[in-house]
């Protein structure tokens, strides 16, 4: 396991774009192709938007990880917002509050290979990994 | 979101062929391929494949065109996600449908009733749901003297809640004693059961009749149910069964009026739900008279055939799509 590559604070809406850009650059450097880069960027958008809309502020950090597949990109989105009351509910298809099919956390889960949420009164941490194939 | 590698490879080959030949055959093959791959390859992956193939075929591709492909792939990502979600929701929907089908079968078993075989009284009955679950219900009982009790009911509302409701009514009726029970008493008892067990806003209409086989009398009472008809053979005309009563479940203590009619040789008792009389053909409501005419034309047939023929007639008139549950009972006196 390699260490943290970078961390992007999410405070204002434009920070979402900064997080996307960082994530995309790292993904490209690790060897991900166009489709996976776009998927990773989309997942980062969703995670960062959730922070911006529901927690006010937080951060997205990136790590290079090694495992079954030679290399992967791990993204951790964390905030100190109110937390998600019912995680199973927000993971249901069609539940998304940001509108439309395919959006929201179920979409993030589909875009990535690994997905985990820890949420309580002190905030939310979402950890996702995309493996290079 | 895994793609099938062989499909993707085939895409490359077909694209190359088409660029060389511009042959319609290749386009047709591409169409067939798109039918096969649509299940597990998402739209952004196809664009990516297209892009990669072009990069091989046109090594000096303009950088703006390259950028435009990156742009298109990003744009298609959310579309691909939505597509995937539709796909999974559809699978879930099919699972739900299968589950409802099991419930509908169970309902059929729970609510099944057999038509009594009685000398001098020929009975036919059918009940067809508009959707999977039936909100109509009919039930026959025979008391220890051979008299026939008949219930026909319609829950206001359709589908699964209506079906639950009907099971309750049936089990309430099953708990009644086997000796002769008059229609008004049965409705009064059922009203209490419904009123106590069901939240407001759910009502049921019911017609209950008791056919006295010794004296050829038909006793009946109604809880706001669609009026039925008695066909008088002697006058060769239908008379609407004129009875009044409050729907079940509206009020706690309700008294029902009971009526009685003599039934003569060749007479028909026709009981139905509003799915029979309120069916529509295009913009036109089918008149009750039209239904009665069909019954009249068929009156020489056994009761079950009359019922089946009316159903077939109305089904065809409605282009084989029922808008409401359909229940029809015909009781025919023949000595």
User: A34: how many CB neighbours lie within 10 A of its CB?
Assistant: 19
Q: Which of B50, B78, B103 is the last residue of a domain?
A: B103
What is the rounded distance in angstroms from the CA atom of residue A60 to the CA atom of residue A19? Answer: 7
Same domain, B242 and B282: yes
* Residue A55 token pair: 């927690």
A99 CB within 8 Å of a chain B CB:
no
CB contact under 8 A, B77 and A39: yes
User: In angstroms, what is the C-alpha Rg of chain A?
Assistant: 14
Picking from B316, B327, B325, the residue whose alpha carbon sits closest to that of residue B282 is B316
Q: Which tens digits make up the pLDDT trace of B230-278?
A: 999 999 999 999 899 999 988 888 999 999 999 999 999 999 988 777 7
Q: Which of B53, B78, B103 is the last residue of a domain?
A: B103
Same domain, B197 and B78: no
What is the rounded distance in angstroms from the CA atom of residue B327 to the CA atom of residue B228? Answer: 12
Largest Cα span, chain B: 101
Q: How many domains does chain B have?
A: 2
What pLDDT does residue B131 have?
79
Q: Which tens digits make up the pLDDT trace of A59-83?
A: 999 999 988 778 999 999 999 998 8
Identify the residue with better confidence: B88 or B244: B244
Pick the most confident of B37-46, B105-114, B326-335: B326-335
CATH architecture of A4-131: 2-Layer Sandwich (3.30)
Choosing among B78, B83, B90, which should be mutated to test the A contact, i.e. which has the most A CBs within 10 A? B78
Q: Which tens digits make up the pLDDT trace of A77-125?
A: 999 998 888 888 888 776 655 555 556 888 899 999 999 999 998 999 9
How would residue B39 be classed by pLDDT, with cut points 50, 70 and 90?
Answer: low
| Domain contains B76 | yes
Which residue in A38, A94, A100 is closest to B77 by CB distance?
Answer: A38
Mean pLDDT of B176-180: 80
CATH number of domain containing B127? 3.60.40.10
Given a contact cutoff of 8 angstroms between Cβ atoms, the answer to whether A78 and A13 are in contact is no
What pLDDT does residue A117 have?
93
Q: Which of B103, B132, B158 is the last residue of a domain?
A: B103
Same domain, B94 and B141: no
A29 CB within 8 Å of a chain B CB:
no
Mean pLDDT of B37-64: 86
How would residue B188 be classed by pLDDT, with cut points 50, 70 and 90?
Answer: very high
Structure letter (DSSP) for residue A55: I
A17 CB within 8 Å of a chain B CB:
no
CB under 8 Å to B177, separation ≥6 — which residues?
none
- The residue range of the domain holding B175 is 115-333
Residues of A in Cβ contact (< 8 Å) with B77: 35, 38-39, 41-42, 111
B49 CB within 8 Å of a chain A CB:
no
Q: State the DSSP H helix or E strand holding residue B283, giving kind and residue range, or none if neither.
A: none
How would residue B282 be classed by pLDDT, with cut points 50, 70 and 90?
Answer: low
What pLDDT does residue B2 have?
43
- With a cut of 50, say whether residue B111 has pLDDT above it: yes
Same domain, B169 and B256: yes
| Domain contains B109 | no
Picking from A120, A132, A108, A131, the residue whose alpha carbon sits closest to that of residue A60 is A108
Same domain, B85 and B163: no
Identify the residue with better confidence: B42 or B231: B231
Same domain, B144 and B99: no
Same domain, B207 and B85: no
Same domain, B243 and B283: yes
* Residue A117 token pair: 């949420």
CA-CA distances (angstroms) from residue B158 to B137, B139, B248, B253, B292? Answer: 12, 19, 16, 26, 26
Tell me how many residue pairs between chain A and chain B have CB atoms under 8 A apart: 59
Structure letter (DSSP) for residue B247: P
CB under 8 Å to B213, separation ≥6 — which residues?
B118, B119, B120, B121, B145, B146, B147, B148
| Domain contains B110 | no
Choosing among A17, A21, A33, A34, which should be mutated to test the B contact, i.e. which has the most B CBs within 10 A? A34
What is the rounded distance in angstroms from the CA atom of residue B307 to the CA atom of residue B299? Answer: 10
């Amino acid at each position: 396991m390699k260490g943290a590559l970078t961390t992007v604070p999410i405070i204002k809406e434009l920070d979402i774009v900064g997080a996307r850009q960082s994530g995309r650059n790292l993904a490209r450097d690790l060897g991900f192709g166009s489709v996976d880069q776009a998927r990773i960027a989309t997942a980062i958008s969703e995670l960062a938007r959730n922070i911006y809309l529901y927690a006010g502020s937080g951060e997205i950090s990136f790590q290079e990880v090694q495992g079954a597949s030679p290399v992967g990109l791990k993204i951790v989105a964390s905030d100190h917002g109110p937390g998600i009351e019912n995680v199973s509910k927000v993971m249901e298809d069609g539940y998304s509050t940001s509108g439309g099919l395919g959006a929201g956390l179920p979409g993030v889960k589909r875009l990535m290979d690994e997905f985990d949420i820890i949420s309580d009164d002190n905030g939310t941490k979402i950890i996702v990994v995309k493996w290079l194939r | 979101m895994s793609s099938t590698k062989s499909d993707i490879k085939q895409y490359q080959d077909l694209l190359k062929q088409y660029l060389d030949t511009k042959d319609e055959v290749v386009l047709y093959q591409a169409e067939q391929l798109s039918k096969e791959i649509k299940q597990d390859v998402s739209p952004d992956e196809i664009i990516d494949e297209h892009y990669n193939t072009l990069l091989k075929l046109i090594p000096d591709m303009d950088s703006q065109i390259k950028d435009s492909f990156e742009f298109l792939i990003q744009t298609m990502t959310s579309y691909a996600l939505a597509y995937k979600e539709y796909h999974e929701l559809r699978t879930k929907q099919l699972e739900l449908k299968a589950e409802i089908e099991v419930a509908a079968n169970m309902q059929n078993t729970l609510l099944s009733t057999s038509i009594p075989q009685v000398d001098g009284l020929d009975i036919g009955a059918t009940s067809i749901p508009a959707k999977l679950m039936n909100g109509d219900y009919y039930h026959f009982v025979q008391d220890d003297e051979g008299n026939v009790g008949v219930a026909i009911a319609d829950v206001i509302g359709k589908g699964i809640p209506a079906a639950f409701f009907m099971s309750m009514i049936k089990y309430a009726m099953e708990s009644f004693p086997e000796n002769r029970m008059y229609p008004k008493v049965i409705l009064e008892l059922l009203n209490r059961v419904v009123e106590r067990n069901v939240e407001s806003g759910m009502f049921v209409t019911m017609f209950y009749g008791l056919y006295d086989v010794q004296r050829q009398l038909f006793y009946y009472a109604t809880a706001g149910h669609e009026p039925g008809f008695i066909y008088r053979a002697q006058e060769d005309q239908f008379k609407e069964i004129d009875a009044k009563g409050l729907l079940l479940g509206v009020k706690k203590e309700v008294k029902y009026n009971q009526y009685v009619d003599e039934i003569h040789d060749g007479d028909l008792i026709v009981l139905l739900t509003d799915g029979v009389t309120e069916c529509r053909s295009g913009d036109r409501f089918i008149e009750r008279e039209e239904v009665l005419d069909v019954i009249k034309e068929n009156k020489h047939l056994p009761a079950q055939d009359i019922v089946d023929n009316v159903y077939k007639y109305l089904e065809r008139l409605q282009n084989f799509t029922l808008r409401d549950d359909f229940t029809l009972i015909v009781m025919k006196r023949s000595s």
